[in-house]
Amino acid sequence: MDIHTPPLFGEKLFSFLGIDFTNTFILAILCALLLIVFFLIGFKKKEIIPGKTQNFFEFILESLFGLFDSM
């Protein structure tokens, strides 16, 4: 009975300029880009009296600062 075990490292999809692109690496880059775009949209139009969108993004950012500060 052969039990399938997942690989320990990401599976290599292709190489470009000597860099191995794995499924894990591509997903990490995609997540980072989505977060950057998400926060750029959220902080695009900062106002003195914030609206609902800016309040939401400031809440997320302050929560992250508090989390990292407590570590």
Confidence of residue 1 (pLDDT cuts 50, 70, 90): low
3-state secondary structure of 16: strand
Give residue 29's pLDDT. 94
Alpha-carbon distance of 6 to 3, in angstroms, equals: 10
pLDDT digits (tens, 9 = 90+) for 41-60: 777 777 777 788 778 888 98
What is the residue-averaged pLDDT of the chain? 84
**Whether residue 23 has pLDDT greater than 80:** yes
Sign of the C-alpha dihedral, residues 52, 58, 63, 66? negative
Tokens of 8: 């320990």
User: What are the residue ranges spanned by the domains of the chain?
Assistant: 12-70
Alpha-carbon distance of 35 to 32, in angstroms, equals: 5
**Whether residue 62 has pLDDT greater than 70:** yes
Confidence of residue 8 (pLDDT cuts 50, 70, 90): confident
Residue of 31, 2, 25 lying closest to 12 (CA atoms): 25
